[in-house]
Structure 1
Amino acid sequence: MDRDTDVLVVGAGPTGLALGIDLARRGVAALVVERAEALFPGSRGKGIQPRTMEVFDDLGVLDAIRAAGGTYPVGMIWQDGRRAGEHRMFDAAEPSEDAPYTEPWMVPQWRTQRILRARLEELGGEVAFGREVVGLAQDQGGVRAEFASGEVLTARYAVAADGGRSTVRRLLGIGMTGETVDPNPTLVADVRISGLDRDNWHVFPPGEGGGFLAICPLAGTEDFQLVAQFPDGTAPDLSLEGIRKVVATRSHLAPECLTELRWASDFRPRAALADRFRSGRLFLAGDAAHVHSPAGGQGLNTSVQDAYNLGWKLGAVLRGGADAALLDSYEEERRPIAADVLGLSTRVHRGETRRGEATRQLGLGYRQSSTRETRTGPGPLRAGDRAPDGTVAGVRLFDAFRGPHWTLLALGGAQAPDPGGRIRVVQGPAPRTYGPGLYLVRPDGYVGWAADTAAGLPDYLARFGRC
């Protein structure tokens, strides 16, 4: 552990692992450290939204994610031991050429993390377990991290991806502003259970036996995720016998139907946003920067996209020669997104809006970012927007975007200059979602520059070093 690295990533959850992958494929030396002795064992963040599936496609893990999970089942509402009706958890949407993934994909969080770790190690990265950060210092040259073991590591930059109770955030003295979404304690557990089919998400409304109970089959496993609310404010009993009592009291199932408890936790749903996402050479990402209600499946997805935004910028500064000022755009772009998504997940939790187009996260973008530039509107797409999929002269655009490079699209007769560097050029007819013009797509799949002609393009590219 006593060695230097370019980037120290604190936390081996989905955020830290995704960032480690993105840095590794850019040739950036990074070390992911984790306080625990193993990866998180529970199913907690089980919903992968369509935009995150696009990110996972680029990071090279989508096939494994799809193989490890499945679609969400239809909700089945039970009343007095009888099936009383169905409930659709998400508004339906048909796939299209520009948005091939439209439904959330269910993968237990522990499986997502295993897949991400395997990809990280495939790229030469690593996770150091049992490493608890207890001290941090920084100067103009880098960051010095001290671990509980007494070991010390220095890095040029560090990223806190260590969760809602982030030690790094506390050491930096960065506050969080938020609210309690629901004061009632909630139990979440991974269990083995008999007497319920795996074709439905089983919902038992509140009754005389207590609060809400939901039991969802976890795709790709033999487990169910059990969620129970405790409106009387009592802390739930996390033991096997305690959870058996909850099941027997709130459903038609006998206690012995719950055959095995694999993991359990409790929480009070809250929403909170860090006052800052950056302090000098240290950045906050994921739950360390924003804490969501689990309703709507927004937390893990927003977190992975934090990593996706920060990864290419760190790579540009550390390997591409870009000015370090580029890193200022991380907070500029991601904090407003996190604030908006926090509001969305809270509204979903309170039943004020459904899980639909907004929760898929395909409409998120950076039109207000200082890193984007639109010159005379070339079509419906603007700089800062997500770059849709499509086909241009036989080339699938997501295939062209895949990798750590920039992509220049010359569409509908627009003339493509030679951009040099490692920029891929795709030229051909303009898909409907783009319109004619030149579109420079960032490594994270958002349009950075859009125009009718190439005037000003070299100056724009110079801001990002050797693209």
Structure 2
Amino acid sequence: MTVLIVGAGPTGLTLSCDLARHHVPFRIVDKAAGVFPGSRAKGLQPRTLEVFEDLGVLDAIQAGGEPFPKFRLYHGREVVWERTVSEMLGSPRLTASPAVPYPDTWLIPQWRTEEILHAHLTELGGQVEWNTEIIGVTQDSTGVTAHTADGEIRADYLVAADGGHSTVRKALGVGFAGDTFETERTLIGDVRADGLDGRFCHILTGNGAVGDRFSLWNLPDSDHYQFVASMPADQVPDLTLDGVRRLCADRSGRTDIHLHDLRWISLYRVSVRMVDRYRVGRVLLAGDAAHVHSSAGGQGLNTGVQDAYNLGWKLAAVQAGADPQLLDTYTAERMPVALAVLGLTTQLHRQDFHGGGAPAIHQLDITYRNGPLALDDRSEPGELRAGDRAPDGLSSSGTRLFDAFRGPHHTLLAFDAPTPDLGVPAIAVPVGEGYDVAPGTYVLVRPDGYVGAISESAEVIGKYLRR
């Protein structure tokens, strides 16, 4: 079996690394000449950090980033206040615990995240085929054919991770329903800035009103800042360094900030859209090709990574002989998540840092409860249910659970119970934080770190695995 991945952004690269460690043959192509140089999405949520730890790139991600800085609001040159991202969004903040090792959002420019994933893919023996544009897709009962200007690529399955303007999605005629905020635009790019002190999201205003701002974010291990400014559609400045300078001066009322060395610039409309299906025969959609929304709350890149992480082990299982209908569970599990993300980001976009309270953005609470792969036959289930994220913790021997989970396998946790031989790693675990289960309970953790099944019967777990 061969999988063709179209698009070498964070979603496509995550999937390719996951397939490589499962030893699933694949090809990954992208129409670009290489990794895009701009910062774009810059916040990795706690759940994504856990995924990247499992994939073996967390050390590089931590070395290439830094804790998310505070927001600092200016009235001219005067500092009005400093607030954390949780305070800005009105969302709850986590604290580190044995169950939650990474409670905070991590700041790292997207180009560096992509470089780290690309380097890891190379270590695993894979490579991106750059300068390869897909111009059409056809499929039949035995496979998919991707058409390029230079020929055809044949695969058993194709995963479209080619962004919000996905050529593959359009070729399939998949609906992309939703809204576009036509009356506003957002300007974003990377530039050097002289005249600012400290590492913050510098919210520059001339009147102290957060809604009329020009934001400059420090980027880790870089002399560049990411600038962000929203505006009415009829007030868009020139997309040049001089245009950005004028906008900054107009919004901030300051002449002491010198912008230079514009690295990239983009103007975009905020759209809130998602597909009406994630799978069309042998083609599956992931990341922005399946859902686009406001950048508020930093959910986009992270949601794409989760798509890939959900799909990778299922493609590997099908290669190993599982029923191809297993791939239908990708749609069943991920479509509700995308719908919830669209609602969350739209809420945060409309609040525009004016408070009001918001759900958590960390993505640790995403669950597949009541989904087709969640089995929990306990008469009195606790807080942890099948379909939830499997918390970190320690085994009876002191092994960290995330270390036991790491890799392309299921893991069986036996809570004060014998460890049966069901063909998967099994470890003894004491009842404790994060796992409110009764002694004698078995918890089966999927390769993507979610709980597949909870039962007091090892036989039930065995049947689940065989299914």
Residue matched to 2:90? none
SS across alignment from 2:239: coil
Deviations 1:128-147 (Å, cap 9, x if unpaired)?
A: 01111011111111101111
Partners of 1:378 and 1:451 within 8 A in 2: no
Report matched runs for 1:344-383 at 5 Å.
344-351=344-351, 358-376=360-378, 377=380, 379-383=382-386
CA displacement, residues 21-72 of structure 1 (integer Å, 9 cap, x when unaligned): 0000000111110011111221111000000000000011101001000112
Give, in whole Å, the separation in 2 of the partners of 1:86 and 1:197. 13
Deviation per CA, 1:173-215, whole angstroms, max 9, x where unpaired?
0011112357311100101110012322111247699942111
**Aligned ranges for residues 311-330 of structure 1 at < 5 Å?**
311-318=312-319, 320-330=320-330
Verify the 8 A CA contact 1:143 1:156 in the aligned structure 2.
yes
Counterpart for residue 259 of structure 2: 258
Provide the secondary structure at the position in 1 that maps to 2:145.
strand
**Aligned residues between the structures:** 454
SS in 1 for 2:120: helix
Alpha-carbon distance, 1:432 to partner? 2.9
1:73 Cα deviation (Å)? Answer: 1.4
Tell me if 1:389 matches 2:402: no
Please say if residues 189 and 225 of structure 1, whose CA atoms lie closer than 8 Å, have aligned partners that are also in contact: yes
* Deviation at residue 330 of structure 1 after TM alignment: 0.3
Amino acid at match of 1:147: T
Residue of structure 2 equivalent to 1:272: 273
Query: Does the 8 Å contact 1:292/1:346 carry over to 2?
Result: yes
Distance 1:314 1:353, change over 3 A: farther
Q: What residue is the counterpart of 1:105 in the other structure?
A: 106
Q: 2:81 aligns with which of 77, 82, 85?
A: 85
**Which residue of structure 2 aligns with residue 197 of structure 1?**
197
Whole-angstrom CA distance in 1 between matches of 2:410 and 2:388:
15
Superposition pairs for residues 282-301 of structure 1, below 5 Å?
282-301=283-302
What is aligned with 1:119? Answer: 120
Using the aligned pairs only, state the percent identity: 49
* Counterpart selection for 1:451 from 417, 439, 455: 455
Unpaired stretches in structure 1, ≥5 consecutive residues? none
Q: Quote the RMSD (CA, aligned, Å).
A: 1.9
Q: CA deviation at 1:354?
A: 6.8
- Asked whether the equivalents of residues 159 and 282 of structure 1 are also in contact (C-alpha less than 8 Å), the reply is yes
Decide which moves more: 209-218 or 107-116: 209-218
Q: For residues 68 and 182 of structure 1, do their structure 2 counterparts lie closer, same or farther at Cα, with a shift above 3 Å needed? A: farther
1:413-432 to structure 2, matched below 5 A, reads: 413-420=416-423, 423-432=424-433
Aligned pair in 2 of structure 1 residues 28, 162: CA closer, same or farther (>3 Å)? same
Deviation at 1:218, TM superposition (A): 0.9
Once the two structures are TM-superposed, the CA of residue 252 in structure 1 deviates from its matched residue by 4.3
TM-score in terms of structure 2 length:
0.93
2:76–2:254 CA contact under 8 A, matched in 1: no
- The Cα offsets for residues 320-372 of structure 1, whole Å up to 9 and x where unpaired, read as 21111100000000000010011001111111867876200000010021112
Cα offset for 1:220? 2.4
Shift of 1:160: 0.4
Aligned-pair distance for 1:417?
Answer: 1.5
Aligned-pair CA distance for 1:255: 7.9
List alignment gaps of at least 5 residues for structure 2. Answer: 88-92
Match of 1:426, SS state, is strand
CA distance in 1, matches of 2:234, 2:431: 57
